[in-house]
Amino acid sequence: MDLPRVAAFTDTYLPTHNGVTYTVQTWRDRWHRRGGHMDVVYPDGDHEAAAGEYPVSSLPFPFYEGFRVGVPGVPEAVDNAELVHAHSPFSLGLAGMRLARKHDLPMAASYHTPTSEYADYLAFTRPIERTIERSATKYERRFLDRTDVVVAPSERTADHVRDTVGTTTPVEVVSNGVDADFFRPVATDRFRSRHGVPDGPIVGYTGRHGYEKNLTAIVEATDGMDVTLAFGGDGPARADLEEKAAAADVDAHFLGWLDREELPAFYATMDAFAFPSPVETQGIAALEANACGTPVAGVASAALADTIVQGETGYKAPAGDIEAFRDVIERTLAERDRLGEECLARRDFISVAHSVDRLTEVYDQLR
């Protein structure tokens, strides 16, 4: 099959660690394995660019530590693209739109994160926050209306894009997918020893520590429970999370950002992956945990309501209900072996290979 030459524009990429970064990187690698070509344009940082990766000048984002804002430029090297895929509606997404318009190219836009969820990072009062939320949604609609297709990672997110954002552009569901060759059950002894993770039941989380993810609920729900908490990752909410854990009756270990090579062992070390975030557009970390045979204790909110298959890949509680969240953590731990087998049985379905098959279909519709 003749695959289009794709220019992917993203406002977050390596060395920043998050679901968008891993999705862009994994799709790009899989696209190349299939004989296609996908360039990535991203904000310059400490990442050493590989072939086909093109950093543009960037500035620190003052409201969110670790993020950089790329100057919306289009490198000459991607001028021969046949299709543009924007992974952000902002700076570099606008650069991608400029490239598409310059050469009359088809354009896809992935909807990874509702931008309104980050209003509290910019606002000092609730009225200001609501104003920012409304403005963000209107901006998203204007951006998406100027593209040819919106790619949403889940049915719930697709419904949000159609009903709340209100775009007139067709919306297609393409799961971000998991690299099932990489995320798989592995031995954990070396990981436990290196990071001082004790024996016994482990409830863990890894990813960005953002306030919108409600990670303090993990500490509140396990307070007094006979488990060890293990947090991988970092972010603006980490200091408050550590303070909360220090005041509770819980054994908590904060590991910081882990090398990607360590993530399968970390997931496999957990008996339950705790995921109380009410704002996920898919919750890729939940699928990574499942691919390693680890069930998820999460919330029935946003995409996690679909990503977690109740009683098969984990359990979910109503968002914001700490007692119910505690119950699903306990139930997930009690049924860990059975749930783990169910998770492993779904590895092919959640794989990135399956997702790129679907992405190819979407791209073909645009040509």
Detail the DSSP E strand segments found in 167-243. 171-173, 202-206, 228-232
CA torsion sign for 337, 340, 342, 348 is negative
Dihedral pair phi/psi, residue 27, rounded to 5°: -60, -40
For residue 272, what are its two tokens? 């339950």
Residues 194 and 332 in one domain: yes
CA distances from 179 to 31, 219, 225, 308, 354 (A): 13, 30, 33, 18, 10
276 φ/ψ angles, rounded to the nearest 5 degrees? -90, 10
Whether 182 is covered by a domain: the verdict is no
What is the domain-level CATH number for residue 264?
A: 3.40.50.2000
> Which pLDDT belongs to residue 136?
86
* 83, 5 contact by CB (below 8 A): yes
Question: Do 272 and 152 belong together in one domain?
Answer: no
The answer as to whether 53 is a domain residue is yes
Higher per-residue confidence, 335 vs 16: 335
Token pair of 362 as six digits: 């979407």
pLDDT of 152 above 70? yes
Weakest-pLDDT range from 114-128, 161-175, 352-366: 114-128
- Does a structural domain hold residue 184? no
- The first and second tokens of residue 220, run together, are 């509140």
**Residue 303 included in any domain:** yes
Regarding whether 340 and 358 lie in a shared domain, the answer is no
Report the share of the chain in percent with pLDDT over 90: 80
- 147-181: b (≥16 Cβ within 10 Å) or e: bbbbbbbbebbbebbbeebebebebbbbbbbbbbe
The pLDDT of residue 123: 44
Are residues 326 and 215 part of one domain? yes
43-49 long-range contacts, CB within 8 A, separation 24+: 43/11, 43/12, 43/13, 43/68, 43/69, 43/70, 43/91, 43/92, 44/68, 44/70, 45/13, 45/14, 45/15, 45/16, 46/15, 47/13, 47/14, 47/15
Instruction: Using the predicted structure, report yes or no on whether residue 323 has a pLDDT greater than 70.
Output: yes
Query: Is there a domain that residue 183 lies in?
Result: no
In angstroms, rounded to a whole number, what is the distance separating the alpha carbons of residues 344 and 366? Answer: 35
Domain count, the chain: 2
The three-class DSSP label of residue 149 is strand
Interval 121-135: pLDDT, tens: 444 455 555 655 678
Residue 51 has pLDDT above 50, yes or no: yes
Give the domain range for residue 229: 189-345
Same domain? 218 vs 244? yes
Same-domain pairing of 249 and 341: yes
Task: Give 126 or 279, the one with higher predicted confidence.
Answer: 279
**Pair 153, 172 in one domain:** yes
Residue 64 has pLDDT above 60, yes or no: no
Q: Indicate whether 359 and 341 sit together in one domain.
A: no
**Residues 51 and 130 occupy one common structural domain:** yes
Calculate helix-pair angle for 19-33, 352-366, nearest 10 degrees: 80
**Cα atoms in the 13 Å half-sphere on the side-chain side of 130:** 3
Burial of 315 (0-12, 13-18, 19+ CB in 10 A): buried
The average confidence (pLDDT) of the chain is 92
How many residues are given for the chain?
Answer: 367
Please determine, for residue 63, whether its predicted confidence score (pLDDT) is greater than 70: no
In terms of domains, do 217 and 327 share one? yes
- Examine the domain organization and report whether 196 and 338 are in the same domain: yes
Half-sphere exposure of 127 (CA within 13 A, CB side): 0
pLDDT tens for 134-148 read 788 999 999 999 999
pLDDT bucket at 317, cuts 50 / 70 / 90: very high
- Which has the minimum average pLDDT: 37-46, 64-73, 230-239, 311-320? 64-73
For the chain, percent of residues with pLDDT exceeding 70:
92
Which of 62-66, 84-88, 120-124 has the highest average model confidence (pLDDT)? 84-88
Same domain, 132 and 232: no
